[in-house]
Structure formats: C-alpha cells, structure tokens
C-alpha cells in the first residue's frame, strides 16, 4: 500500500501543481486520503483475522463455503467469485486443507473435478468468529449514520467505475 505522507503535504502538492497543470489538487488529495484509509483498514483487518489464524483471503474462502447453498464449491468457482487466478486459490486452499479447515472431495457429477467442502473444524471456526467479526465491522463503521453508509456505498461504486483510468495504457 502507498503511504502518502511523504508527498501529500499541501505545500508539496501545490509545487507539483505548478509544474503539472493536469494535476487536480482535490482529486489527488481525495485519492491519497482514500489510500491512507484503505491502508489503515487493511492493517486492522489483518490484525483481526490473525487473531483466528487466518488471512483475508482464507477468511473469504471459508465464508464463501459457509454460505454456499450446497456447502461446496469448485476451485474455479472460488477463483471467479474472488476475481483471482486459480493458482492463487490453489495456494489458499492448500493452506486451509493443511489446517483441516476444508476438504477436497471428488465432484459428484464429474470425477475429473474436485469440490471443496467446509470441514467441521472450519465450520466451528467461522461460527465462533462471526459474532466478533460482525461486532467489529459494525464498530468500524459506527461513525457513519445509515444515510452516510448508503452514500458511502454509492461513492465507492462511482470510484470503482473510474479505476479503469489507471489500468488503460
């Protein structure tokens, strides 16, 4: 993550704006504030998940299984839902299987494929963790009222649509 403290002082940004007329101060300040906040949120989530011996990725996979209608998913379904590569999913699943939180079992309709099932130990961990997780999530968002939360979701959605500007050549 980016720590913008080294170049986001108002004086530094104003100097850059003089050299680069395309620099929109309010856009850069907003982006830097967002990046600083996302860094803080990621660090807080990392600490939270570490209490349970998990990473954000492992938690995400366990939750996907926990709420899956049939209690199972294929590795490709995980990858598609998480928008990551199958290799990334394989690495996470390897760790979860070593920790006996998930099981790889033959797919019921295609013996060439595998299904991932939430093991009893994984179900117990998630069941134990969720009340604390939901409490902490609510506490993190407590400074926003209901209207602000809805507005925040809309603003984040608008921001997400602009991310292509950074990806395009």
> Which residues constitute the domain of residue 10?
1-38
Report the C-alpha gap between 54 and 34 in whole angstroms: 25
**Residues 6 or more apart in contact with residue 7 via CB below 8 angstroms:** 13, 16
In a domain, 169, yes or no: no
Same structural domain, 97 and 149? yes
> What is the pLDDT confidence band of residue 3, given thresholds at 50, 70 and 90?
very low
**96 and 131 part of one domain:** yes
* DSSP element (H, E) containing 32: helix 25-50
Structure tokens at 159: 């921001």
Residue ranges with strand state E in the chain: 72-73, 102-106, 114-118
- My answer on whether 34 and 69 are in the same domain is no
Tens of pLDDT, residues 18-29: 899 899 888 988
On average, the pLDDT of the chain sits at 90
What's the pTM?
0.82
Q: What is the pLDDT of residue 85?
A: 84
Per-residue confidence (pLDDT) for residue 150, from 0 to 100: 98
pLDDT in tens, 67-86: 998 878 888 888 888 888 88
Say yes or no: 84 and 116 in one domain: yes
In a domain, 16, yes or no: yes
Based on the domain organization, do 9 and 62 belong to the same domain?
no
Pairing of strands 102-106, 72-73: unpaired
pLDDT value of residue 43: 97
Cβ neighbour number for residue 126 with a 10 Å cutoff: 20
Q: What is the pLDDT of residues 42-60, one digit of tens each?
A: 999 999 999 999 999 999 9
**64 plus 32 within the same structural domain:** no
pLDDT computed for residue 125 by the predictor: 98
pLDDT tens figures, 141-152: 999 999 999 999
CATH number, domain containing residue 57: 1.10.10.10
Looking at the structure, tell me whether residues 96 and 123 fall in a common domain.
yes
168, part of any domain: no
Q: Specify whether 126 is located in the same domain as 79.
A: yes
Count of domains forming the chain? 2
Reported in sequence order, the residue ranges of 51-157 that DSSP labels E, i.e. its strands, are 72-73, 102-106, 114-118
In a shared domain, residues 34 and 57? no
Do the Cβ atoms of 36 and 4 come closer than 8 Å? yes
């Amino acid at each position: 993550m980016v720590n913008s403290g080294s170049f986001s002082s108002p004086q530094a940004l104003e100097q850059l704006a003089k050299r680069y007329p395309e620099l929109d101060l309010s856009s850069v300040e907003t982006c830097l504030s967002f990046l600083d906040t996302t860094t803080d949120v990621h660090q807080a989530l990392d600490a939270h998940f570490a209490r349970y011996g998990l990473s954000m990725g492992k938690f995400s996979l366990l939750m996907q299984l926990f709420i899956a209608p049939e209690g199972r998913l294929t590795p490709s379904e995980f990858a598609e839902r998480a928008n990551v590569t199958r290799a990334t999913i394989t690495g996470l699943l390897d760790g979860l299987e070593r920790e006996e939180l998930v099981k790889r079992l033959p797919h019921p309709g295609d013996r060439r494929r595998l299904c991932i099932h939430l093991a009893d130990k994984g179900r117990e961990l998630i069941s134990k963790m969720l009340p604390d997780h939901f409490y902490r999530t609510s506490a993190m968002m407590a400074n926003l009222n209901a209207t602000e939360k809805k507005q925040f979701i809309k603003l984040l959605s608008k921001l997400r649509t602009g991310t292509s500007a950074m990806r395009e050549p």
